[in-house]
Amino acid sequence: MKIENIKTLGALKTSGYKSKSIKDELRDNLIERLKNNEVTFEGVHGYENTVIPELERAILSRHNINLLGLRGQAKTRLARLMVNLLDDFIPVVEGSEINDDPLQPISRFATELIEEKGDDTPISWLPKKERFAEKLATPDVTVADLIGDVDPIKAAHLKLSYADDRVIHYGMIPRANRCIFVINELPDLQARIQVALFNILQEGDIQIRGFKLRMPLDIQFVFTANPEDYTNRGSIVTPLKDRIGSQIITHYPMDIETAKKITAQEAKLNKNQTERVVVPELVKDILEQIVFEARDSEFIDAKSGVSARLGITALENLVSTAERRALISGDDKTAIRLSDFVGIIPAITGKVELVYEGEQEGASVVAFNLIGDAVQTLFPKFFPKIEKLEKQDEESPYDAIVSWFFNNSEGFELLDDLDEVTYKSTLDAVTPLQDLINTYQPDLNKDEHYIIKEFVLWGLVQFNKLSKYRFTEGIQFKDPYGSYISGL
């Protein structure tokens, strides 16, 4: 017989079911997973040796947890994934507002019902997916929202005095009894509201208006906070921090490969898009490198952080840019081009906070320059490094390309919306590009053949071997002195 088919308190006792606190429940199920070498937090990448072991230690210690980190570091996701460590079902007294344990009731409703009906007390089963409650801390959150208040309508309807505790309307926290309760952006919660959490975290009693109820609520608290909030919008009051067992510091991905996994997992791409648009591996590398460059940029406020959502939305925009181009030109299939990266600028400008110097430069200019910075960083991984200071007569692998641009003084234009045939023939016209690729990237995947040609041109611009001019319809490349001669 499945345990969730048990419908009365008597049958529950006969089954041998034993009550367990939620912290013990999480601990026991985590122990089983660790023993079996199972993944505890599925779909979270880059935390395997840092955040996840600390989180597992906190769960084993039965601690309430504060996840501290900048935006876009999977804090809320980690909290939600803790639900997977709960039992599939737990019994509750049927009709209880606060998920009373039939074997250890704490509310007046449940205790009176059990006194009245005894072993015939009806019970129901709460699945683990419903044992998660979440509240975003905003300045307008009240004690009544979180803990509860006196309900005058209930008092009038039941003809009760305000001195009777049955007039209480429970808030979100008591209703999350035997559940995981998450408060996001804890520093945004007003100090007086934070103070109201003291007793719940430590002593297990709640205070509502004139009532002080001894209710040992069984809750796993998880808080999330941004360290910048400590100085900007608010702070976590010291006594509350003292009552939180473990504070775990999160971080951004430490390498491009991890960032690529996260972006590929989270990006929402339509099936038609993935069939029409090829995304070469080099494109994925450049995209993630742009995010890394943004985190190190002197024009972007590092304390505010650069969310992983930048890479995710940038990939979505990038694919959509190529898709739109293909639809207009009539191509059935296309591959991402470097010129398509212009389409990710709106994804960047909405996700970064600029410092004063960045505001002076302009958000779009800063975003566009990040693309070039990413190309410059990755360039030496594919082709010989270009030194800042070179000997005057020393030969360079790039001399033939630079000479081609000197001999074509009118420059070389690569328009954004070229159809596939024209795009490829335009790049093929720069014949030394193919020789360079044959020498240093002979095993190149065919999908990357033309993006790497663009990559070389952008790289040579970044190292001052060529000059680049962005205009409305596309990009013009010239020899390094072309911009001065033409007056551009």
Q: Digits of tens for pLDDT over the chain (488 positions)?
A: 577 789 999 999 999 999 999 999 999 999 999 999 999 999 999 999 999 999 999 999 999 999 999 989 999 999 999 999 999 999 999 999 999 999 999 888 999 999 999 999 999 999 999 999 999 988 888 888 888 887 777 767 677 765 666 777 888 999 999 999 999 999 888 888 888 888 788 766 677 766 666 778 899 999 999 887 554 556 888 888 888 999 999 999 999 999 999 999 999 999 999 999 999 999 999 999 999 999 999 999 988 889 999 999 999 999 999 999 999 999 999 999 999 999 999 999 989 999 999 999 999 999 999 999 999 999 999 999 888 766 666 788 999 999 999 888 777 899 999 999 999 999 999 999 999 999 999 988 877 889 999 999 999 999 999 999 988 889 999 988 754 444 44
Q: Are strands 148-150 and 168-170 parallel, antiparallel or unpaired?
A: antiparallel
- Classify residue 213 as exposed, middle or buried by CB count within 10 Å of its CB (0-12, 13-18, 19+): middle
Percentage helix, strand, coil for the chain under 3-state DSSP, each rounded to 5? 50, 15, 35
User: What integer pLDDT is reported at residue 388 of this predicted model?
Assistant: 73
The residue type found at 315 is L
Whether residue 203 contacts residue 243, with contact meaning beta carbons closer than 8 Å, is answered with no
Question: How does DSSP assign 380-411, residue by residue?
Answer: GGTS----SS--TT---TTHHHHHHHHH-TT-
Whether residue 78 contacts residue 44, with contact meaning beta carbons closer than 8 Å, is answered with yes
Rounded to a whole number of angstroms, the CA Rg of the chain reads: 30
The residue type found at 230 is Y
Task: Give the span between the Cα atoms of 143 and 154, in whole angstroms.
Answer: 19
User: What integer pLDDT is reported at residue 423 of this predicted model?
Assistant: 94
Q: Where are the alpha helices (DSSP H) in 297-385?
A: 309-329, 345-349, 356-361, 363-378
Region class of 204: left (phi > 0), else alpha (psi between -120 and 50), else beta: left
H/E stretch holding 150 reads strand 148-150
Distance of CA 56 to the CA centre of its chain: 20
User: What integer pLDDT is reported at residue 392 of this predicted model?
Assistant: 66
- Classify residue 20 as exposed, middle or buried by CB count within 10 Å of its CB (0-12, 13-18, 19+): middle
Task: Give the span between the Cα atoms of 136 and 144, in whole angstroms.
Answer: 15
Cβ-based neighbours of 25, under 8 Å, separated by 6 or more: 85, 86, 87
Whether residue 454 contacts residue 412, with contact meaning beta carbons closer than 8 Å, is answered with no
Residue 223's closest CA among 191, 250, 247?
A: 247
User: What integer pLDDT is reported at residue 484 of this predicted model?
Assistant: 47
Structure-token pair, residue 151: 């309900």
User: What integer pLDDT is reported at residue 482 of this predicted model?
Assistant: 56
- Strands in 246-249's sheet, in edge-to-edge order, are 132-136, 180-184, 220-225, 65-68, 246-249
The residue type found at 309 is R
Residue 98's closest CA among 174, 200, 9?
A: 174
Calculated CA dihedral for residues 459, 460, 464, 470, nearest 10 degrees: -70
Instruction: List Cβ<8 Å contacts ≥24 apart for 383-390.
Output: 383/436, 383/440, 383/441, 383/456, 383/459, 384/440, 386/459, 386/460, 386/463, 386/465
Task: Give the span between the Cα atoms of 40 and 439, in whole angstroms.
Answer: 46
Structure-token pair, residue 424: 């490829």
DSSP 90: E
User: What integer pLDDT is reported at residue 189 of this predicted model?
Assistant: 87
